[in-house]
Amino acid sequence: MPSPLLPAPSLPAIVGVLDLAGIAVFALSGALLAARMRQTLVTMTFFALVTGVGGGSIRDLLIGAPVFWVRDPAVAPVCLGVALVTWFTPHRWWDRPVLEWADAVGLGAYAVLGTAKALAYGVAPVPAMLMGVITGCVGGIIRDVLAGRPSILMRPELYVTAAALSSVLCAGGKALALPDAPVWTVAALAGFALRGAAIHWRLGLPTYDSRN
């Protein structure tokens, strides 16, 4: 198990791009939820920040890494900027299909990022995959709990499963010593495709049948 606050390993530049992309998309989902609830700009900004960095913060604490958004000067401004853009633009610009598809892109990217970062810190493959799922999903769960609505964990739609697919492919590629860039691209696209299929065809996991 890595010791607390290990020095940051050298990660490819694409990781930073995936990170900011995922943060922006998830921050937007948090800001839009606050908009639907007709909350203040302060609440909107807080929801954007919590949703954008929540999963990554939990991941970093668990793997013994410095909490990424505290050290990266670009993250907080991205969340604030997203909240401001949401506040000053008409809600119809961000209708449900646009948000869902953007969220699907962010989910795949963020799950890959979380897995890749955990592996870079020496975390074993299976826990690293779980770190990817946490990175992709926990921010939204925290947002929903704060908003007083059922989280994605309480719904059968394929969301966590899509993050898990990206994480498994990312860790599998690393175990096979395949080049990072194509593996991460394929893994992120696979998670996006599964989530997109769930959105388009309303796919979901079977629920427990108490009659069995």
Per DSSP, the residues of 94-115 read G-HHHHHHHHHHHHHHHHHHHH
Count other Cβ atoms within 10 Å, centred on residue 149.
11
The structure tokens 């401001």 sit at 84
pLDDT per residue as tens digits for the range 160-169: 999 999 999 9
- Strand intervals (E) in the chain: none
Q: State whether residue 157 is helix, strand or coil.
A: strand
What is the token pair recorded at 203? 């796919």
Measured between alpha carbons, how far is 39 from 48 in angstroms, rounded to an integer?
12
Residue 2: the pLDDT is: 43
Per the CB < 8 A criterion, the answer to whether 115 and 22 are in contact is: no
DSSP β-bridge partners for residue 204: 157
pLDDT per residue as tens digits for the range 115-144: 999 999 999 999 999 999 999 999 989 999
pLDDT per residue as tens digits for the range 41-99: 999 999 999 999 999 999 999 999 999 999 899 999 999 999 999 999 987 777 667 77
Determine the Cα angle at 38 with ends 78 and 109, to 5°: 35
**C-alpha Rg value of the chain to the nearest Å:** 17
Measured between alpha carbons, how far is 46 from 49 in angstroms, rounded to an integer?
5
Measured between alpha carbons, how far is 129 from 131 in angstroms, rounded to an integer?
5
Per the CB < 8 A criterion, the answer to whether 174 and 81 are in contact is: no
Per the CB < 8 A criterion, the answer to whether 77 and 49 are in contact is: no
pLDDT per residue as tens digits for the range 186-195: 999 999 999 9
